[in-house]
Amino acid sequence: MSAPNRRVVVTQRFFDAATIAWLEENGCEVIVADLPPGRADGDLSPSELESLLAGAAGWIVGHARVTRDLLTALPDLRVISRRGVGYERVDTVAVRDLGRVACIAVGGNDASVADHTIAMMLALGRRFRESQDRMLAGDWSILMGTDLFRKTVGIIGLGRIGRSLVQRLQGFEARILVLDRMADRDYADAHHLTCLTLPELLGQSDYVSLHAPLTPETRFLIDADALGRMKPTSFLINAARGGLVDDMALLEALRSGTIAGAGLDTFVSESDPGYRPTSDALLALPNVVATPHAAASSREGLDRTNRVAAMSVVDVLDGRTPPAACVIADGRVRTPA
């Protein structure tokens, strides 16, 4: 009798040796894809993914699209585990229909993204980019910045990352507002947070930070109307998902002085190449601090997230169910008609 298939393919960069060793100790054959320079798994074609994943029972994935056609072409694949928490690129209906399991790596990168968000707030308020650009041009005069200390911060999305941000902001003695429809009232009350409607939150905040999932309801949640409700001295931070913000409207708001600046880790152009000129125009503005969807990519955060993703793979291959918070679709569980 042949041994059960325990081949696990990793299509993410920065997959640490300790997690590879842990998978091997748990009986897995680990194959880390040798991606072409400058390309992530989200850039690979379906045929390239099929070739990499042929015969695999487990897949630790980054930003590749997990489609019905791809899953159908990979009959041996039992578990798809995202090294991350967003799953808008995973066809969860197809996962269930085809009897597979899809997971996310809950809890691995909360601290990393919250730290990154604070860094963006500080960089914007203290005008780090503008100051260094001027110094490089020979102008060492001082630009007046603004503190984060005791400012009002609006948080849209009060999940794990939003709550990690709350913990950090309390050290700055910030007044924290949260969007009422995305807030856990018990948590908000216990941490002295103020629940407001979106217009109220936008109008009162010195910093607005997005930590919501991308859904049809939240797409372009921050549009021209929303930006127009913000203070001209306020800053917008998006370290969540491209598509929460209408980047074209944001570009106009920044150019016109509707808001003071933006910290951007995600862009609409990540999923819609037609927005790339808009992204490039945003990057060129002196009042924008940007990173390439890197908020979760600290060494420690990736190591934690790698391990969570790997643990879900082993759970499924061993016939167990991963922690409920990690499971986004389980086709092994059939609901009676």
pLDDT in tens, 8-45: 999 998 999 999 999 999 999 999 999 888 788 988 99
Q: Concatenate the DSSP letters of all residues of 215-245 into one string.
A: -TTTTTSB-HHHHHHS-TT-EEEE-S-TTSB
Instruction: Let me know: does 85 contact 105? Beta carbons within 8 Å.
Output: yes
Q: Is position 337 within any domain?
A: no
User: Domain check: are 138 and 271 in the same one?
Assistant: yes
**pLDDT for position 337:** 47
Mean pLDDT rounded to a whole number for the chain: 95
Residues 6, 78, 293, 307: which is the catalytic one? Answer: 293
Residue 183, amino acid? A
Q: Is 252 assigned a catalytic role?
A: no
* pLDDT value at residue 85: 87
Active site residue 241: yes
Q: Are residues 131 and 221 in the same domain?
A: yes
Angstrom distances, CA of residue 10 to CA of 34, 253, 309, 321: 9, 40, 10, 20
Check whether 279 has a pLDDT greater than 80.
yes
Q: How far apart are CA 203 and CA 109, in angstroms?
A: 30
- Between CA 237 and CA 212 the distance in angstroms is 12
243: tokens are 């598509």
What is the Cα–Cα distance from 315 to 309, expressed in whole angstroms? Answer: 10
Could you say which of 270, 304, 320, 332 is catalytic?
270
Residue 324 lies in a domain: yes
If asked whether residues 142 and 255 sit together in one domain, one would say: yes
Q: Is 270 known to be catalytic?
A: yes
Active-site option among 63, 241, 304, 307? 241
What pLDDT is recorded for position 40? 87
Same domain, 153 and 225: yes
Burial of 134 (0-12, 13-18, 19+ CB in 10 A): middle
CATH code assigned at 97: 3.40.50.720
For residues 57 and 173, membership in a common domain is answered with no
Pairing type for strands 327-330 and 101-104 reads: antiparallel
In a domain, residue 336? The reply is no
Give the per-residue pLDDT at 3: 64
What's the pLDDT at 45?
93
Looking at the structure, do residues 160 and 57 belong to the same domain, yes or no?
no
Instruction: Assess if residue 1 is contained within a domain.
Output: no
Specify whether 74 is located in the same domain as 138.
no
- Answer yes or no: is 172 within a domain: yes
β-pair type (194-196, 207-210): unpaired
Residues 229 and 276 in one domain: yes
Domain count, the chain: 2
Amino acid at 300: E
Share of the chain above pLDDT 90, in %: 90
Same domain for 325 and 274: no
> Which tokens belong to 65?
């699209």
Q: Return contacts of 1-4, CB within 8 angstroms, 24+ apart.
A: 4/57, 4/317
| Global pTM value | 0.87
* Pairwise CA distance, residues 327 & 321, whole Å: 8
Q: What is the pLDDT of residues 229-249, one digit of tens each?
A: 999 999 999 999 999 999 999
- 133-146 pLDDT, tens digit per residue, is 999 999 999 999 99
Mean pLDDT of 274-278: 97
Strand (E) or helix (H) holding 99? none
Specify whether 85 is located in the same domain as 142. Answer: no
Q: Which two tokens stand for residue 107?
A: 């809890």
E strand spans, 15-161 = 29-32, 58-61, 79-82, 101-104, 152-156
Domain co-membership, 206 together with 126? yes
Is the confidence at residue 117, as pLDDT, over 60?
Answer: yes
Q: How confident is the model at residue 334 (pLDDT cuts 50, 70, 90)?
A: low
In a domain, 2, yes or no: no
Domain that residue 58 falls in: 7-108+298-330
Confidence of residue 1 (pLDDT cuts 50, 70, 90): very low
Q: Is residue 208 part of a domain?
A: yes
